[in-house]
Amino acid sequence: MNNHDFCRLLLSETRRELTTKQRKQLVGSWSYRFSGMGDTADWHGPDDYYWHGNACCAYSARQQGINAWLDRDECP
């Protein structure tokens, strides 16, 4: 198991819970981890939704960003 297998597992579990409509909405979303800036990462989702926080890798940023997007009130 490499350093980010657990992060990938969490992301796959999060994606497993998505509806078909939500999966289609996530097409084109992306994440970025800033090197040299600690554990800072961004995730850019549908409808200009943006998550910024601490993540050890891009997989973790995606998982946290998707969960934050799902938790917001106006999410379908």
Q: What is the pLDDT of residues 46-67, one digit of tens each?
A: 989 999 999 988 999 999 999 9
Q: Are 18 and 62 in contact (CB under 8 A)?
A: no
Q: For 1-67, where are the E strands, in sequence order? A: 30-33, 40-44, 50-54
Give residue 1's pLDDT.
Answer: 62
Give residue 72's pLDDT.
Answer: 85
- Kindly indicate the confidence band of residue 76, based on its pLDDT and cuts at 50, 70 and 90: low
Please tell me the pTM assigned to this model: 0.86
Cα–Cα distance measured from residue 47 to residue 3, given in angstroms and rounded to the nearest whole number:
32
Query: Is residue 24's pLDDT more than 70?
Result: yes
